[in-house]
Structure 1
Amino acid sequence: MLGRSDLAISKGSDEQDIVRAATELVDNGKWHLTEGGVGLERPFKFKTFKATWAFMNDVAEECQRQKHHPEWANVYSRTEIRWTTHSPKGMSAKDTHMARFCDEAAQRHGEQYPKQAETKTEGGPVVEAGDCCGHTHTKPDGG
């Protein structure tokens, strides 16, 4: 269970609602607090690039309705999403709403749970895409 001291809550937000919603998202084991507790982040993995893109399109449509955008990165079948409110800075109800929306959209698009080594799209380990382009990639030494 998260406490108020774990989160940097956006000014004007209902603190009890944010703590409760963030706790639910983190306790299910998929979402993690960003550094300083200003937001939520998590990786998503799908079977194909097409499924990943469809998921991202669904999220983008909801972003337009909510007038709120993520920080995200995509590599082939993986997407890393971070929700935080920039003004006023901190976590808001829009962040927790969009995190729940992402979970629901991921389920609709056939999310596959990433292995630990595949959970970062930027600055983390490189995960080869396999046969995403119709052929298997090999290393110069034949491996």
Structure 2
Amino acid sequence: MIEIERKFLVKSMNFVDGAVSKTKIVQGFLNTHPERTVRIRINGEKGFMTVKGKSNDSGTTRFEWETEIGLKDAEKLLQLCEKGIIDKTRYMVPFHDHSFEVDVFEGENEGLILAEIELSNENEMFQKPNWLGEEVTGDIKYYNSQLSKQPYTTW
């Protein structure tokens, strides 16, 4: 239940050629307190509730608990979420021994493309594809909970 990930800006759409799947995601936050967030997500045709703790100092590691919930329940809970729903399309892109989740944001965050890679430890080495840009791990403005409050198009 510990999540270790790094986050990067994406500098080109070249990742699409290597994608093995593409899923529409809609999510909102019931709570965006700095110590924890509670997220409701519809990922394709499935609903999920996720609780995330505060990140460590580097921004790479934090507690994460997730459970699947019914799609109808997720749709109802989204109506109770704080202002600022996140719309994005997620591409799963395998690259060497890892997979990148690449999110192409829509709506108020249109123009933003982020890639995340989950790791087994903070110092794990991985190869970077040529479409990967600047690392933004730990930069809170790129957290989905913050993008719901301060969308990319308002920066």
With the length of structure 2 as denominator, give the TM-score of the two structures.
Answer: 0.30
Using CA pairs below 8 Å that are at least 6 residues apart, which structure has the higher relative contact order? 2
Structure number having the greater helix percentage? 1
Structure with more strand by fraction: 2
